[in-house]
């Protein structure tokens, strides 16, 4: 027997209904905020992720589904959505035109991580990316949009924010941090590697020994330039004004290398160790880094599987019809009726020869509002038997009135 691969799963009803409900709800809100849908390929050149997500990240270092295809191209399954959207933005020359563009997307992402609750190898994200707006109010808008999505889905959260600085304050802070790291002996292998590639990422290390060694590490938040400091203050005051509770986490650095300035994460205390339900931030250097014209950008992505555990679906009401034949002779008319009624209604059916009781049971399980049956009697009188499964009312009506 062949099973799905480890860390990958099927999404079947009723979970698939929750999945669709989430996508529909978030898409509607993203459109209200002026984002348009974008679909980019799942397979991209490996270099795209190496240059954007970054060599120092776990994603590129350890988790890529990378292979050489039949044309000798080095390709990989996308581990996240931002890089592909940035590539598309540049490929369409929107950067050269200096256009402001807002996109949203959803679909599967792939990371070869150790599977556990809330951590899959194929998982799904819903994300949004905004290009061309350098004002921190766009960062605030992205956070408010996420809040609107979580509220619509009935999901509670804690918001953590930080500022990672910009090219005018980051390099100086980096030097200060590296000097500090040189005084620390016994850092884990990952931290030793990050010390050379992207030192700020050491602050994110989960190793308990590193956490102790780095307890009094200098923090970027204390080394921001005037502009970054002002922007961070504006962001906080907008969040205060709009009643969005947040915690400043000066060690929040995110697991991807492309961020600058605003970084944020939404966490939930209700889903266990893998508590990050969404993350994002500003990435003003990425378009240029991928050979485009410098364009400010900010975005986020949420993990759909993690959120599915938390979504409160609205009470569903009975909907549509179940139409069945009680004798072979009625099958033809039932087939026609089902086809006709489907033009305006949701209609389910069964061709199995079952008693009225068993058809009623099936209709009830399918949660339709009406069960309609045609037997010998109804056929002779050109009528249908119909039961409202909500009010329990039963009646026989003329076929021409159905
Ligand atoms: P990320 O923090 O790597 O950011 O992923 C975003 C969300 O995807 C996480 O908060 C989590 O909910 C979910 N997620 C990540 N890995 C897994 C996994 N193995 N299994 C299940 N869920 C997972 C990004 O991907 C950035 N591209 C976000 C972004 C967009 N930043 C700017 N624009």
pTM for the model = 0.92
For residue range 284-294, what is the model confidence (pLDDT) as tens digits?
Answer: 999 999 999 99
Per-residue pLDDT of the chain (402 residues; tens, 9 = 90+): 999 999 999 999 889 999 999 999 999 999 999 999 999 999 999 999 999 999 878 899 899 999 999 999 999 999 999 999 999 999 999 999 998 999 999 999 999 999 999 999 999 999 999 999 999 999 999 999 999 999 999 999 999 999 999 999 999 999 999 999 999 999 999 899 888 888 998 998 889 999 999 999 999 999 999 999 999 999 999 999 999 999 999 999 998 989 999 999 999 999 998 999 999 999 999 999 999 999 999 999 999 999 999 999 988 889 999 999 999 999 999 999 999 999 999 999 999 999 999 999 999 999 999 999 999 999 999 999 999 999 999 999 999 998
139 CB less than 6 Å from ligand 1? no
Residues of the chain with CATH 3.30.930.10: 15-169+224-308
What pLDDT does residue 85 have?
Answer: 98
Residue 184 CA to ligand 1 centre (angstroms): 31
386 CB less than 6 Å from ligand 1? no
Question: Which of 360, 137, 378 lies closest to 234 in space, CA to CA?
Answer: 137
Residues of the chain with CATH 3.40.50.800: 321-401
92 labelled as ligand-binding?
Answer: no
What pLDDT does residue 52 have?
Answer: 95
10 Å CB burial of residue 2 (0-12, 13-18, 19+) is: exposed
79 CB less than 6 Å from ligand 1? no
118 labelled as ligand-binding?
Answer: no
What pLDDT does residue 198 have?
Answer: 87
Phi, psi of 45 (to 5 degrees): -65, 135
Residue 273's DSSP bridge partners are: none
* Ligand 1 atom closest to Cα of residue 278: 10
What pLDDT does residue 206 have?
Answer: 86
Q: Which protein residue has the closest C-alpha to ligand 1 atom 17?
A: 119
80 CB less than 6 Å from ligand 1? yes
Residue 107 CA to ligand 1 centre (angstroms): 12
For residue range 360-377, what is the model confidence (pLDDT) as tens digits?
Answer: 999 999 999 999 999 999
Per residue, what are the HEC states of 109-174?
A: EECCCCCECCECCEEEEEEEEEECCCCHHHHHHHHHHHHHHHHHCCCCCEEEEEECCCCCCHHHHH
What pLDDT does residue 316 have?
Answer: 81
Question: Which of 305, 260, 279 lies closest to 121 in space, CA to CA?
Answer: 305
Residue 170 CA to ligand 1 centre (angstroms): 24
Count the neighbouring beta carbons within 10 Å of the beta carbon of residue 224.
23
Residue 277 CA to ligand 1 centre (angstroms): 8
Q: Which protein residue has the closest C-alpha to ligand 1 atom 31?
A: 280
Residue 101 CA from chain centroid, whole number:
20
Count the neighbouring beta carbons within 10 Å of the beta carbon of residue 171.
11
55 labelled as ligand-binding?
Answer: no
82 CB less than 6 Å from ligand 1? yes
Residue 13 CA to ligand 1 centre (angstroms): 24
* Rg (the chain; Cα; Å): 27
Compute the half-sphere exposure of residue 129: CA atoms within 13 Å on the CB side of its CA: 26
306 CB less than 6 Å from ligand 1? yes
253 CB less than 6 Å from ligand 1? no
Residue 63 CA to ligand 1 centre (angstroms): 13
254 labelled as ligand-binding?
Answer: yes
65 labelled as ligand-binding?
Answer: no
Which listed CATH number (3.40.50.10860, 3.30.930.10, 3.40.50.720, 3.40.630.10) goes with 15-169+224-308? 3.30.930.10
Contacts of 16 (CB under 8 A, 6+ apart): none
What pLDDT does residue 1 have?
Answer: 96
Token pair listed for 135: 């004002």
Which overall architecture, per CATH, does domain 321-401 show? 3-Layer(aba) Sandwich (3.40)
* Ligand 1 atom closest to Cα of residue 120: 20
10 Å CB burial of residue 137 (0-12, 13-18, 19+) is: middle
């Amino acid at each position: 027997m062949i099973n799905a691969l480890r860390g990958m799963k099927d999404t079947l009803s009723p979970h698939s209904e929750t999945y669709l409900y989430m996508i529909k709800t978030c898409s509607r809100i993203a459109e209200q905020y002026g984002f348009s849908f974008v679909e980019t390929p799942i397979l991209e050149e490996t270099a795209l992720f190496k240059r954007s997500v970054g060599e120092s990240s776990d994603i590129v270092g350890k988790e890529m589904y990378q292979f050489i295809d039949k044309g000798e191209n080095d390709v990989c399954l996308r581990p996240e959505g931002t890089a592909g959207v940035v590539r598309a933005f540049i490929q369409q020359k929107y950067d050269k035109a200096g256009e402001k563009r807002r996109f949203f997307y959803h679909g599967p992402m792939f990371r070869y991580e150790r599977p556990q609750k809330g951590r899959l190898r194929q998982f799904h994200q819903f994300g949004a990316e905004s290009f061309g707006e350098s004002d921190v109010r766009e960062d605030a808008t992205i956070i408010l949009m996420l809040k609107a999505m979580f509220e619509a889905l009935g999901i509670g959260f804690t918001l953590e924010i930080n500022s990672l600085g910009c090219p005018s304050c980051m390099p100086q802070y980096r030097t200060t941090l590296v000097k500090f790291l040189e005084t620390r002996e016994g850092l884990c292998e990952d931290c030793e590697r990050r010390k050379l590639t992207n030192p700020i990422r050491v602050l994110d290390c989960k190793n308990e020994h590193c956490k102790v060694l780095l307890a009094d590490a200098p923090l970027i938040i204390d080394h921001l330039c005037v502009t970054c400091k002002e922007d961070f203050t504006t962001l906080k005051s907008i969040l205060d004004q709009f009643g969005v509770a947040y915690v400043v986490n000066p060690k929040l650095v995110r697991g991807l290398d492309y961020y600058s300035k605003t970084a944020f994460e939404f966490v939930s205390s209700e889903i266990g160790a893998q508590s990050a339900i969404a993350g994002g931030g500003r990435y003003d250097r990425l378009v240029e880094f991928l050979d485009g014209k410098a364009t400010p950008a900010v975005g986020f992505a949420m993990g759909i599987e993690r959120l599915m555990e938390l979504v409160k679906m609205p009470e569903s009401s009975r909907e549509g019809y179940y139409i069945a034949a009680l004798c072979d002779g009625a099958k033809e008319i039932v087939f026609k009726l089902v086809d006709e009624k489907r033009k305006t209604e949701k209609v389910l059916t069964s061709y199995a020869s079952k008693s009225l009781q068993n058809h009623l049971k099936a209709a009830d399980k399918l949660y339709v509002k009406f069960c309609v049956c045609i037997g010998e009697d109804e056929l002779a009188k050109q009528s249908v038997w119909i039961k409202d499964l909500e009010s329990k009312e039963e009646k026989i009506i003329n076929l021409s009135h159905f």
